[in-house]
């Protein structure tokens, strides 16, 4: 038997070496061209379930039973754009203060209670919404929801924590004077929207407004906007309606409501003509270039064509801007473009930080790409961009937190339940004519603002010689105001 086994193994060994050359030839990959991509797989999420508490508070539930985790988002329809006159930074301050003590616990006690559960609770604000997020094991959901309810409905707003936050923000404003990107962001927003529109003001506020914010301001803002008639609960995780709804009811069922203030904003005017705003940053090793104009609101009918077009222009590593400024010329580590989608028309911008010595050359290449994108676009390039967006989309749904974030955006903009599952199909439906049309409609190199932050002595002459536009010189103080003197609050 042993001899027979050895003979069989020897034959197999010989056959392996005899046949291996043929197998190697047959299986050799074709490296003369990239492998062909298959069609993007459709995204199939569980159904969106619409529930409601006795207080009228809507609940959006998506069951995900892969892991015993749950994400709960309290989405409140208020944000930075609702800051009262003279109180810029108030909405974001309210959100940041929610975790600094709530219910019967002070800041440290609250943090300890959250850590003890192995949970995570955080609050943030954006332009038109604020969110309080809870991530917790399902086994700890009762205790975690109680903490979330305190934070959302019963924040303490302790004066000593407000003073700490105030000093942190004043310190940030002071540090911005030495940060070209912060200078660029502020100058760009002011240029497009002006200083009277919320989109043109720093989200954290300015020195005067920060010094004026009081605990009473925080309480009034919270009372006005944080209520069951101005919020939605987003729930994703290993739960069912019958298991989670009674728990939510016990915590949020008594959440009161009130008259929510109505907001009105100044008119947004499109950029006319072409001006270079040069902000002097002596000694800067790089120049921050930001070029743009007023873009579109999130609910534009051109949303999907714009996604594809911008992917080609500057929305991916292989985009035209990045391939030109980084790969071809080596002016920068990266160049990109984006449309910032908001309730009102957000900005379109193309930007990069480039070596000081090539600021003028980089600017020329930026303008070249902005002009070229308005011309014919090869079908192959469009298809590649569509594949990039479609194939990358499912990566935004890998965790319950990511799914909840996507649902929150869907709910905030009142998008249909099928929006997430139909997203890839809508991208694939974009045509060549769609992409070329939106490029011509929204990218206008002749009516665009150009903000450059850099060493004026080193770059002004070269920029002027390009003849691209007239230059308006600015100082950092003209953009940011004088650096704050860290001291007490104005009375």
CB atoms within 10 A of CB 221: 22
Average pLDDT over residues 216-235: 97
CB distance 189 to 176 below 8 Å = no
- What distance in Å separates the CA atoms of residue 261 and residue 353, rounded to the nearest whole number? 41
240 Cβ contact partners less than 8 Å away, ≥ 6 residues apart:
63
Q: What is the pLDDT of residue 97?
A: 98
180 Cβ contact partners less than 8 Å away, ≥ 6 residues apart:
281, 284, 286, 287, 288, 353, 453, 454
Average pLDDT over residues 164-190: 97
Question: In the structure, what pLDDT confidence band is assigned to residue 486 with cuts at 50, 70 and 90?
Answer: confident
Higher model confidence: residue 213 or residue 40?
213
Nearest-CA neighbor of 43 among 428, 420, 426, 417? Answer: 420
Whether pLDDT at 148 is above 50: yes
What are the structure tokens assigned to 249, written together?
A: 């009811």
Q: What is the pLDDT of residue 14?
A: 46
Percent of the chain whose predicted confidence (pLDDT) is above 90: 89
Q: Where are the alpha helices (DSSP H) in 28-124?
A: 90-97, 107-117
3-state helix, strand, coil in the chain (%, to 5): 50, 20, 35
- Taking only the tens place, the pLDDT of each residue in 397-424 is 999 999 999 999 999 999 999 999 999 9
Whether pLDDT at 21 is above 60: no
What are the structure tokens assigned to 23, written together?
A: 């197998």
- What distance in Å separates the CA atoms of residue 403 and residue 399, rounded to the nearest whole number? 6
Q: What is the pLDDT of residue 490?
A: 45
CB distance 63 to 239 below 8 Å = yes
Lowest mean pLDDT among 24-28, 74-78, 248-252, 443-447: 24-28
- What distance in Å separates the CA atoms of residue 312 and residue 317, rounded to the nearest whole number? 10
- List, by residue range, all CATH 3.30.830.10 domains of the chain: 49-252, 274-480
- What distance in Å separates the CA atoms of residue 313 and residue 338, rounded to the nearest whole number? 9
pTM of the model: 0.88
Beta strands in 138-248 (DSSP E): 231-237
Whether pLDDT at 96 is above 60: yes
13 Cβ contact partners less than 8 Å away, ≥ 6 residues apart:
none
Q: What is the pLDDT of residue 271?
A: 97
Q: What is the pLDDT of residue 93?
A: 98
Average pLDDT over residues 472-483: 96
Percent of the chain whose predicted confidence (pLDDT) is above 70: 93
What are the structure tokens assigned to 240, written together?
A: 């069912």
CB distance 124 to 130 below 8 Å = yes
**SS3 category, 117:** helix
Q: What is the pLDDT of residue 485?
A: 84
Whether pLDDT at 489 is above 60: no
Question: In the structure, what pLDDT confidence band is assigned to residue 453 with cuts at 50, 70 and 90?
Answer: very high
- Taking only the tens place, the pLDDT of each residue in 30-75 is 787 777 766 767 789 999 999 999 999 999 999 999 999 999 999 9
User: Left if phi > 0, otherwise alpha if psi is -120 to 50, otherwise beta: which for 158?
Assistant: beta
Higher model confidence: residue 36 or residue 298?
298
Whether pLDDT at 118 is above 70: yes
Instruction: State the DSSP string of 334-360.
Output: EEEEEE--BSS--EEEEEEEEEGGGHH
Q: What is the pLDDT of residue 37?
A: 66
Architecture of domain 274-480: 2-Layer Sandwich (3.30)
Q: Phi/psi of residue 83, each to 5°?
A: -55, 130
- Which CATH topology does 49-252 take? Cytochrome Bc1 Complex; Chain A, domain 1 (3.30.830)
Counting every residue written for the chain, the total comes to: 491
CA-derived radius of gyration, the chain: 27
| Beta partners for residue 470, in sequence order | 275
Whether pLDDT at 24 is above 60: no
CB-side neighbour CA atoms (13 Å) of 150: 22
């Amino acid at each position: 038997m042993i001899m027979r086994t050895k003979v069989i193994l020897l034959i197999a060994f010989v056959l392996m070496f005899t046949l291996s050359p043929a197998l190697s030839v047959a299986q050799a990959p074709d490296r003369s061209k990239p492998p062909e991509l298959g069609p993007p797989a459709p995204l199939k999420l569980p159904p969106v379930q619409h529930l409601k508490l006795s207080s009228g508070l809507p609940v959006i539930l998506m069951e995900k039973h892969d892991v015993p985790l749950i994400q709960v988002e309290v989405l409140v329809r208020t944000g930075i754009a609702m800051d009262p006159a003279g109180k810029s930074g108030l909405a974001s301050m309210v959100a940041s203060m929610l975790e600094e003590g709530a219910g019967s616990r002070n800041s440290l006690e609250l943090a300890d209670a959250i850590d003890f559960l192995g949970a995570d609770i955080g609050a943030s604000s954006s332009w038109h919404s604020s969110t309080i997020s809870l991530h917790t094991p399902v086994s700890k959901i009762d205790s975690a929801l109680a903490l979330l309810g305190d934070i959302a409905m019963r924040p303490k707003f302790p004066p000593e924590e407000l003073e700490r936050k105030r000093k942190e923000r004043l310190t940030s404003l002071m540090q911005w004077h030495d940060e070209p990107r912060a200078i660029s962001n502020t100058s760009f927003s002011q240029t497009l929207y002006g200083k009277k529109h919320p989109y043109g003001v720093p989200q954290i506020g300015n020195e005067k407004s920060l010094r004026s914010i009081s605990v009473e301001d925080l309480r009034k803002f919270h009372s006005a906007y944080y209520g069951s008639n101005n919020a939605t609960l987003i729930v994703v995780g290993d739960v069912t309606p019958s298991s989670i709804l009674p728990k939510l009811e016990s915590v949020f069922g008594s959440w009161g409501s009130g008259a929510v203030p109505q907001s009105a904003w100044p008119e947004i005017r499109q950029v006319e003509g072409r001006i270079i705003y040069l902000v002097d940053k002596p000694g800067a090793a790089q120049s921050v270039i930001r070029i743009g104009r007023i873009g579109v609101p999130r609910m534009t009918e051109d949303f999907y064509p714009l996604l594809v077009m911008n992917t080609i222009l500057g929305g991916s590593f292989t985009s035209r801007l990045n391939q030109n400024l980084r790969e071809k010329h080596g002016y920068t580590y990266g160049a990109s473009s984006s449309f910032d989608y908001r309730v009102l028309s957000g900005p379109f911008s193309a930007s990069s930080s480039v070596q000081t010595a090539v600021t003028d050359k980089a600017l020329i290449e930026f303008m070249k790409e902005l002009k070229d994108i308005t011309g014919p676009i090869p079908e192959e390039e469009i298809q590649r961009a569509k594949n990039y967006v479609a194939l990358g989309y499912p990566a935004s749904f890998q965790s319950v937190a990511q799914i909840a974030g996507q649902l929150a955006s869907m709910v905030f903009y009142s998008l249909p339940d099928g929006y997430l599952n139909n997203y890839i199909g809508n991208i694939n439906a974009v045509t060549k004519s769609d992409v070329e049309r939106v490029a011509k409609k929204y990218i206008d190199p002749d009516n665009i603002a150009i903000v450059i932050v850099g060493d004026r002595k080193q770059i002004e002459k070269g920029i002027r010689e390009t003849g691209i536009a007239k230059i308006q010189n600015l100082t950092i103080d003209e953009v940011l105001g004088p650096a704050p003197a860290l001291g007490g609050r104005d009375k």
